[in-house]
Structure 1
């Protein structure tokens, strides 16, 4: 089967760089499957799980807290704010993040719309992390 190069980059380092058959990424508009020869685009990512398919099987699940993806017909580069393998997610840590994000959103009630939106995005990402941790 045809492949494309998938690169996953966090602020600290390059985490993944190899040919894959398919990647499902958590775009803001919804889950987005990427195959070789995909139309070029740049998409914003929300907190969620990237699923990687190689050899006809899902080989990896990586949780990201958000970021951007640049898609070309031969390459997908994901610039992620934070990356954690789903298998290593902690339910307790995810629950703590949800609690902190809820408090931050409540504290942002009188702030500008941009500040409230960022706080809301963090809460949605924390809730997605909690769901992924429970499913792992």
Structure 2
């Protein structure tokens, strides 16, 4: 079975890399599902969205919050370069809830901090 080679990185560190069956990313133009053999694409990640990766080893889906950034698909290589990224398993849910409440209290509609806090909670599996 064909797989994708995926790398998810932020300026601080490599968040996840490995072989995957599928990647789902939210772009500024809509959601994109990436399978092996996908046409080459360069896209802009939606700030405060979630990237999902289905590992090739049939393990649990990897879910990560991403801030603004880019992704590229070339051959069966997927590079996700995010300004900010955090695995759902690493999210401090209490901290993300506080950040969401602070963003809502600031009263700005659809602020970056609100979108990122909501994405952190979604990545952690909490409905926000």
TM-score over 0.5 for the pair = yes
Does the residue aligned with 1:21 lie in a helix, a strand or coil?
Answer: strand
Name structure 1 gaps, 5 residues minimum: 107-115
Q: What residue in structure 2 maps to residue 113 of structure 1?
A: none
* TM-score, normalisation: structure 2: 0.77
Name structure 2 gaps, 5 residues minimum: none
Shift of 1:91: 2.4
- Alignment of 1:82 with 2:73, yes or no, is no
Shift of 1:71: 1.4
Shift of 1:56: 4.5
Does the residue aligned with 2:118 lie in a helix, a strand or coil?
Answer: helix
- Alignment of 1:126 with 2:117, yes or no, is yes
Q: What residue in structure 2 maps to residue 111 of structure 1?
A: none
| 1:96-116 superposed Cα distances (whole Å, 9 cap, x missing partner) | 22234345664xxxxxxxxx9
8 A Cα contact 1:66 1:125, kept in partner:
no
How far apart, in 2, do the equivalents of 1:11 and 1:85 lie? 14
Shift of 1:73: 2.4
How far apart, in 2, do the equivalents of 1:99 and 1:9 lie? 28
Shift of 1:9: 1.2
Shift of 1:13: 2.2
Q: What residue in structure 1 maps to residue 39 of structure 2?
A: 39
Q: What residue in structure 2 maps to residue 25 of structure 1?
A: 25
How far apart, in 2, do the equivalents of 1:105 and 1:68 lie? 29
- Alignment of 1:67 with 2:69, yes or no, is yes
How far apart, in 2, do the equivalents of 1:45 and 1:75 lie? 17
Q: What residue in structure 2 maps to residue 48 of structure 1?
A: 49
Query: Counting helix residues as a fraction of each chain, which structure ranks higher?
Result: 1
8 A Cα contact 2:40 2:74, kept in partner:
yes
* TM-score, normalisation: structure 1: 0.73
Does the residue aligned with 2:37 lie in a helix, a strand or coil?
Answer: coil
